[in-house]
Chains A and B, each alone.
Chain A
């Protein structure tokens, strides 16, 4: 999503092939102390940049763009519900019907925007990436997910658990300044109620919303000839 074509091309090649490997190799040498947390933070930021730079090329279309902003606003509002949050379910649904890019943007933008209310922090890029990827994969799997309800529910449950486990990586790295399987296991266990809560709330909201959402979008499509 960068304006000039040249900068974009340079970034697309430089980031994954030059800057990111160089950082991984050089930073540990430069700092003898613990370096995991900052490197993870930077890598996450770069990965986000890379995704966003890739999306500018694709034609998202005015209507799809506006629908992404609508879905983002709805999931931010939904995040203020107590305990169960529809944010993943709404991301998955918009990815299924609007495509992978739209899914990624909805997930990532919902994370930033809702963190203005819930509290911004060094975890924001991680959340953006986690939710964005949930949307991206849902968009790529759109066809089977739309065909089979069971698969959609399974995706909801898995993405809830997966989200929690990805965020546990962040917790481990930030808490201990390093990453080892034992510490990761401790973080996963100590976050125990959350994966279940996420999985259940994704399931509930997908069950409630999948059918009406599909119908509503189909209706809009027919009415306005999308």
Chain B
């Protein structure tokens, strides 16, 4: 068992996407709460207590949506109070809060996903789908740092020529445009040279193979199967209407039965997978250090 991020990217993607998709599809407050809690737990495990602004923004969502929804939405039968001849209902307030909860949970899952997926892993995933697109993608990523470095060089050279005054707004703007123009010329020409040398080495003349770090181990297949089975169980329950809430005109939660609890348990297990893998890694590390 390896850390979650060391697993095969395809298995990781399937697990996270299934978790996030169920969150998107299923408007079930308890399930959304579980999803949000697991996503936050995993996020905190990886990042510690940094990025306070993101936490405040994401966790403010349910509150914001709960306050906004009644302004547009007048369904529901429990009127709390009336503003400007508009009824603010308890049901609309609740529904807004639930959609906000969904958005917050999805935010966290996507944030975790983009933290985990380095561009190299994304390349691995794209590769099977489209070699051409993967190539354009990696070259663009490489160009980013290349162009930044080149822009710095051009700027230094322009400064050395003594063309601009420092801290002068118009000169700064003109200088910026000039650097961009030079960079554009250089980038286009550099690109053509790269393309020429690629075709000189036979790019596009036959089938290509490519190197990758990632392989399928038994552990990856276990992870993939686990997440598929758990997600199938939850999705099946959702389609049978076990997890369906009625929001308007009256709030009616689904009956708390064994299948309902089982579906929630399955979802909890699915959403906990990243935390479990990560936690096991932390525990091993802790034990190893203790034994020194």
Contacts and interface: CB of A to CB of B under 8 A. Distances in A.
A122 interface: yes
Interface stretch (A71-79, A145-153, A192-200): A71-79
Interface residues of A, number: 53
Interface in A130-176: 174-176
A25 interface: no
Contact of A3 (B107, B130, B146): B130
Nearest to B65: A175
B147 interface: yes
A10 to B, nearest CB: 15
B219 to A, nearest CB: 26
Contacts of A65: 132, 135-136, 195
A122 to B, nearest CB: 6
Contacts of A31: 25, 238-239, 244
A73 B143 contact: yes
Interface of A: 1-3, 30-34, 37-38, 41, 52, 56, 60, 62-63, 65-70, 72-74, 76-77, 105, 109, 113, 115-116, 119-122, 174-177, 182-183, 186, 208, 212-213, 216-217, 219-220, 223-224, 226
B192 A32 contact: no
A120 B72 contact: no
B133 A1 contact: yes
Contacts of A120: 110-111, 113-114
Chain B CB within 10 Å, residue with most, of A73, A113, A224: A73
Report whether over half of chain A's contact residues are helix, strand or loop; otherwise say mixed. helix
Interface string B161-204: 00000000000000001000101110111111011101100011
Contacts of A109: 133, 136-137, 140
B247 A3 contact: no
Contacts of B146: 73
Contacts of B111: 119-120
B13 interface: no
